[in-house]
Structure 1
Amino acid sequence: MRIADLHGRRVAVWGFGREGRAAIAALRKQLPSLPLTLYCSDSEIEAAKSFEAALEIVGAEPDANALRRFDIVVKSPGISAYKPALLEAQSHGVKITSGTALWFGEKPDERVVAVTGTKGKSTTSALIAHLARALGVRTALAGNIGMPMLELLDQQAELWVIELSSFQTGEAGSLALGVITSLYEEHLDWHGSRERYVTDKLRLADVSRALLVNALQSALVERTAGHSQRLLFGQVDGWHVADGWIHRGTRAIFQIERLAAPGAHNALNACAALAALEAIGLDALGAAHSLATFLPLPHRLQPLGDRDGWDWVNDSISTTPLATLAALESLHGRAVTVLVGGHDRGLDWSPFVDAMSVTPPHAIVCMGSNGARIESALRAAQVRCPVTRVDDLGAAVATAKIQTPADGVILLSPGAPSFDQFRDYAERGRRFAELGGFDGASITGIDGLGIS
């Protein structure tokens, strides 16, 4: 669907986050006289009036009857496609689209690499863009990583690197290359079940002329075996990690300790990025040295520095238990107190608990709405380290200061969303920095968003 197809139709926009605002702006630019109804939260009404005076604004979530007033609904990614009101409206002929779908409708012939995955998608996307730019390729970095694609609708790039969440993979158009970094359990509240989450993630394969997947994930390899142009990273005859180096086959290319982004998983993300460049015909070997100048993404295993004798690491972006395990692995050998817990969306914490039973950190502090559930599981497993439960992040940091020895690490890697206490992971990460004695306001956005 193109934006021009909305002319003369009854159109609603659902959601007034950055994606919703980008959709309104794009529609207004091409169809300035099109009547638009916005559904947003009651707290957003005044901001919406300031943003666009001509909007009809409803400060409430629409039900099916409200949605049936429209021909087309442009929804934001955070609104589940499986909401009963949306499904019922669709059954009555209402078309549901999104900023992602509209961008692909407007840009059907662009050279696009789209990246998804439970873990690693943001870093891999940023790495691909960074390395492509190092080769002199005019590259766009956008999507779920922090810049809606519609904000760049009128701009030109030789290569579009787009991060897609599981909410967006079913909305993508034709791709030169799809990249799937990993596949674990997440976002069950949006998708409704693990199998539906996996199915939605793998929709990326359906629109990708070539598909690059992680060879270390057997289930992912099996589920994508039928793709006619499937490529793998992480195996010994391609880009992989071994003996402290990133290799291309038998050739050692880049020493892992030179990566600013720590951890074996980030070395694997670098392999994914290099394999992606190679897959679209760019000089991956020539770009590899530029891994040394890549800036780690904020809130992703971000070293804040030393304060009061402890090293502080901000991994607030961690919203799954498996992401927390990866963070702990990157700090193996250190005395780590890890802060876990947040909004409870029903994820299975048993892999985390099992790992803590074998290789526990120095201490675990459980917090937030699922803190009690995590604590209970850890105690039932008789994990051999101090386990403490507190209500909120402030209390968690205070407890960590008491429990962590000198030269130890205080790690925020919650394994859960922030919505029980904060607006988003970035606000949580900045607050953690402030509680540690750092300037939270200095943690800015992701380097490299947009086109350059």
Structure 2
Amino acid sequence: MKIVDLAGKRVALWGWGREGRAAYTALRTRLPPQALTLFCSEAEAVEAAASHDPLLAIEHAPNGERLGAFDVVVKSPGISPYSPAALVAAASGTHFIGGTALWFGERADADGNLPSTICVTGTKGKSTTSSLLAHLLRAAGMRTALAGNIGVPLLELLDGQAEAWAIELSSYQTRDVAASGARPGIAIVTNLHPEHLDWHGSEARYIEDKLALLTEAKPRIAVLNAADPRLAALPLPDSEIQWYGDARGWHLREDALYRADEFVMDTASLPLPGWHNRSNLCAVLTALDAFGLDAAALAPHAATFQPLPNRLQPLGERDGILYVNDSISTTPMATLAALALYRDRPVALLVGGHDRGLPWDEFAAAMRTQAPRAIVTLGQNGPRIRVLLDPIAEARGFALSSASDLAEAMSQARAALPAGGVVLLSPGAPSFGMYKDYVARGRHFAELAGFDPDAISGIAGMGIA
């Protein structure tokens, strides 16, 4: 669908975050006389009203009947199409679409192809992979866009010109690519673990929506992690598959980076903490080869990559204690990966947040052999995690406590550690309810630890450069 296809239709916008504002600007620029209705919160309505747009009607909290009055609703990614109101409206014929789909529809060639796009998704690692991909593309001298879920909506770059597009897609956006009718040049999928079950409604639908980037958008080349069992078993007759993570392609042997049987470089000193982050480098190099570049020649440029904030981010030491900000961690599997990085040091782990129903049994089982010095639970799902860990803590002898907020959790963590210890914020859960988002949670963690939150929050390289 192109934006011009909305002309004369009954069109609404649902959401006024950065994605919603980008969609409004794109529609108003392309369709100046188009009447629009915006559904948003009361606080957002104040900002939207400041546009003084006589063709923009503003309403709150739509129900299914109200949404059903529109032909097309352009919704922000965080709004689930599986919500009761959306399902009622869809049943009456309302078409829901996101800004990602509009961008792909606008940019595709006459046959629907977008060969310059490299889409990146996965439960974990997609932001680092996208950023590292853009970094190495620029090292190759290519004018490159870094956009999408990482923080710059694609519609903000609707008329931007780039030789390569590194696009991060969340599970909220992957089906949008397929809905646009466009075919990406390359799609990278890093891994699949249960997440966002509250938005998708079930693990099966999360996986289905995530994989729509492959199964429905049918990229020309699919770059897949051979170590992920779901990806390894996935039939993709319409795409050429390039594997990473095993001896067929780019892979790691301890810290050594190989392309098939060819040793390329040692990765131990790269600014990519943890084996899983260096695995993301393998994904990027595979995509660069598929893009027609000399990935082996570009690999050393990973040494100048600037790591992303809130992702296993060492903030520094205070009174002999290292503080590590992994606020982006929103699954138990991500927390286990963070713990593995500091297995040789005494760690006090802070876990818990918004409860969206993910199981913590596997995490609890791992604590029988991989427990840190101390675990502090907090947040909405803190009590549920605590119940699972209580008998294990008693048997294995690690300290286990609960806190009402992050400040109390950090106080308990510090008290449990000797000099040389690590306070690790890797909550394995979203921040909703306590914070606006994981960035706000990471900033507060930094502030409580005695560091400048502004100095740790920026992501380098977004946009076109």
TM-score range, shorter chain: over 0.9
- Report whether the alignment pairs 1:197 with 2:201: no
Q: Does 1:184 align with 2:184?
A: no
Q: How far is the alpha carbon of 1:309 from its aligned partner?
A: 1.1
Q: 1:446 to 1:51 in 2, by over 3 A?
A: farther
State which of 449, 457, 464 in structure 2 corresponds to 1:436: 449
Residue of structure 1 in register with 2:170 after alignment: 165
Q: 2:350 matched to 1:350?
A: no
Question: What amino acid maps onto 1:108 in structure 2?
Answer: A
**Counterparts in 2 of 1:331-410, with a 5 A limit?**
331-382=342-393, 383-410=396-423
Are 2:148 and 1:143 equivalent residues in the alignment?
Answer: yes
The equivalences for 1:86-235 within 5 A come to 86-109=86-109, 110=114, 111-172=116-177, 173-205=182-214, 206-207=216-217, 208-224=219-235, 226=237, 228-235=239-246
CA shift for structure 1 position 249 = 1.6
> For residues 66-100 of structure 1, what are the alpha-carbon distances to aligned partners after superposition, in whole Å with 9 as ceiling and x for unaligned?
01221110000101111122122122221211100
Q: 1:434, 1:166 → 2: CA distance?
A: 31
In the alignment, is residue 304 of structure 1 matched against residue 315 of structure 2?
yes
Report whether the alignment pairs 1:16 with 2:16. yes
Listed one character per residue, the Cα deviations across residues 165-205 of structure 1 (whole Å, up to 9, x for unaligned) are: 11111111311111110000000001111011111111011
Partner of 1:105, secondary structure, is helix
- Show the counterpart of 2:273: 262
State the TM-score, normalized to the length of structure 2.
Answer: 0.95
Looking at structure 2, the residues matched to 53 and 336 of structure 1 have their Cα atoms a distance apart, in angstroms, of 54
1:227 deviation in Å?
A: 5.3
**Hey, what's the Cα distance between the residues in 2 that align with 1:199 and 1:100?**
18
User: CA offset at residue 228 of structure 1?
Assistant: 4.2
Query: Equivalent residues in 2 for 1:280-295 (5 A)?
Result: 280-295=291-306
Q: Secondary structure at the match of 1:381?
A: helix
**5+ unaligned residues in a row in structure 2: which ranges?**
none
Measured on the aligned residues, the alpha-carbon RMSD in Å equals 1.3
Seen in structure 2, the aligned counterparts of structure 1 residues 227 and 233 have a Cα distance that, compared at 3 Å, is farther
Classify the secondary structure of the residue corresponding to 1:185.
coil
Single out whichever of 413-422 and 210-219 deviates more from structure 2.
210-219
Secondary structure of 2:432's match? coil
Which letter does structure 2 place at the counterpart of 1:184?
H
Report what 2:58 is aligned to.
57
8 Å contact from structure 2 (residues 443, 457) kept in 1: no
Report the CA distance shift for 1:13/1:421 in structure 2 as closer, same or farther (over 3 A).
Answer: same
Does the Cα contact within 8 Å between 2:71 and 2:95 map onto a contact in 1?
yes
- Could you tell me which residue of structure 1 aligns to residue 458 of structure 2? 445
Post-superposition Cα deviations, 1:387-441, rounded to whole Å, max 9, x if no partner, equal 1111111111111111111111111010000012000000000000000000112
Q: How far is 1:57 from its partner?
A: 1.1
Q: 2:440 aligns with which of 427, 437, 445?
A: 427
Deviation at 1:271, TM superposition (A): 0.5
Q: State the secondary structure of the residue aligned to 1:176.
A: strand
Kept after mapping to 1: 8 A contact 2:129/2:283: yes
Cα shift readout 1:207-238 (whole Å, capped 9, x = no counterpart): 11211111111222112465541121000131
Q: Distance in 2 between matches of 1:331 and 1:147?
A: 32
Asked if 2 retains the 8 angstrom alpha-carbon contact of 1:357 and 1:384, the reply is: no
User: Normalising to structure 1: TM-score of the pair?
Assistant: 0.97
State the aligned residue count.
Answer: 451
The one of 339, 344, 348 equivalent to 1:328 is 339
Output aligned runs, 1:26-65, within 5 Å: 26-51=26-51, 53-54=53-54, 55-58=56-59, 60-65=60-65
Equivalence for 1:318:
329
Q: Secondary structure at the match of 1:333?
A: coil
Could you tell me which runs of 5 or more consecutive residues in structure 1 were left unpaired when the two chains were aligned: none
Identity of aligned pairs, percent?
A: 52
